[in-house]
Amino acid sequence: MAEAITKTNFNFRNQKGLYVGKVRDVYNIDDKYLVMVVTDRISAFDVVLPRGIPYKGQVLNQIASKFLDATADIVPNWKISSPDPMVTVGRFAKPFKVEMVIRGYLAGHAWREYRDGKRTICGIPMPEGMVENQKFPEPIITPTTKADEGHDLDISKEYILKNGLVSEEDYSLLEKYTYALFRRGTEIAEKRGLILVDTKYEFGKSNGKIYLIDEINTPDSSRYFYLDGYIERLKKGERQKQLSKEFVRQWLIERNFQGKKGQTVPEMPDEFVNEVTERYIELYENITGEKFTRKKGTDVMARIENNINKYLETL
């Protein structure tokens, strides 16, 4: 079984700080650049699971890199280069404390809220009489807080503006960019026989300019269904065939874990870890139309560090 990279602790020239997220280790280089190492950690219900997933970081980084390039005409983004399969180097931008979640279909968290009787989410009304995985008449934006720790929370546009989390002018742009990015992501997915069900986008600001930051349209931040058979499965009330992290959540739910207080994370056996790896690679190959190359080596950490150092010397 391949090695999973679950922790880094590099020390680069002009490094000012290290932010360890659920999946990403982000190194601040002199408040000018960010070096983002996408690890093989996996989270669900805002909890980092004990075992990493081999090649997951490479999958996420390479998908995000391709989508950042494919949407640069819509909104400026933070990426400058990807010097290693698990690394992106980009410009430093101060992130907004809001994640822009956009949903084209009633699935996942939105469905669980709907199933429990709620007919609004983040202040947005949801039509009566919908069924799980049904398409909304129009995509809806359901923002969440960007929590440093613990669970992200649903919030409304009104709450964001009233509490000054984002200015009205900036929020208007964030909405515009979010809708446009989702349209582009939907078009790309359809060409590959997939449906982009929902996703989230994060933005930051540098020198008064808004940038798209972090990842985009990856299986960690997005949900994809297979287009073929979608209507038939919907009519029969069957589960959709999907490529996303939702199947990991379902595996955990079946074992009585949803990140709630007092619950214990079930142990992931090798067989399931391998299955998760293959699912991530399957999504990569489907969404990009390219064969995934497993970057192997005896010392992946040394490779990553060497590639980053060589690139930083060019800046």
| pLDDT value at 151 more than 80 | no
The CATH number given to whatever domain includes residue 134 is: 3.30.470.20
Q: Is residue 135 part of a domain?
A: yes
Q: Is residue 31 part of a domain?
A: no
Q: Pick 245 or 312 by higher pLDDT.
A: 312
Per-residue pLDDT band for 127 (boundaries 50, 70, 90) equals very high
Domain of residue 194 covers 95-244
Q: Is residue 67 part of a domain?
A: no
Q: Is residue 34 part of a domain?
A: no
Over residues 294-304, the mean pLDDT reads 87
3-state SS of the chain is CCCCCCCCCCCCCCEEEEEECCCEEEEEECCCEEEEEECCCCEECCEECCCCCCCHHHHHHHHHHHHHHHCCCCCCECEEEEEECCEEEEECCEECCEEEEEEEECCHHHHHHHHCCCCEECCEECCCCCCCCCEEEEEEECCEECCCCCCCCECCHHHHHHCCCCCHHHHHHHHHHHHHHHHHHHHHHHHCCEEEEEEEEEEEEECCEEEEECCCCCCCCEEEEECCCHHHHHHHCCCCCEEECHHHHHHHHHCCCCCCCCCCCCCCCHHHHHHHHHHHHHHHHHHHCCCCCCCCCCCHHHHHHHHHHHHHCCC
Instruction: Say what the pTM is.
Output: 0.90
pLDDT digits (tens, 9 = 90+) for 172-231: 999 999 999 999 999 999 999 999 999 999 999 999 999 999 999 998 899 999 999 999
Res 46: pLDDT: 85
Q: Is residue 49 part of a domain?
A: no
Q: Is residue 39 part of a domain?
A: no
pLDDT digits (tens, 9 = 90+) for 275-290: 999 989 998 999 999 9
Q: Give the pair of three-digit tokens for residue 232.
A: 């038939």
Count of the separate structural domains present in the chain: 1
